[in-house]
Amino acid sequence: MKVKISYRFWSLVSKADINNEAGETIMSMKGKLFSPTRKKRIYDKDGNLLYIVRNRFWFNWIIHKTYIYDSNKKKIATLCDNASLKNEYIVKGYQDEIKINGNFASSHFDIIANDEKRGSINRLDLRSDVSLEADEQYIPFFSALVVAINTMTNRKENNT
């Protein structure tokens, strides 16, 4: 299954629609106006909370971390950038061992779970629109990973 994560360019709070290939919204993401951790919530098409994504509160200049919580506010994964490799992210604490690696220049990343390629991420344009391709069962969590990477990257770029 292939989905497109489209960030809304003109919005006071960070918002995104997650659409299938037919253009139907299957999930949405909404951030908060004032949030030191840049908290984002991911909802299904019926408005049910699926995931919460937020940055680490305290500053960390070497390894950046973003946390993913389930709908019950239980932390289910920690996304870390690999300080030695600029093109790799590691997911810790999740049921599967997940690495996201690729080429920043070409904006293509592969999602590797338990040593098997399970999906791919492609940045589509400068507005941060992203294409995600994976089996349908992985789309919700991998969408949360894309939001987490984007949240972490924005925080690093703004040096906050």
What is the pTM assigned to this prediction? 0.87
Q: What is the pLDDT of residue 160?
A: 45
Domains, the chain, with CATH or none: 2-158 (3.20.90.10)
pLDDT under 70: residue ranges of the chain:
9-13, 33-37, 56-62, 83-86, 104-106, 125-128, 154-160
Burial class (CB in 10 A: 0-12, 13-18, 19+), 91: buried
pLDDT by residue (tens digit) across 4-20?
998 876 555 678 999 99
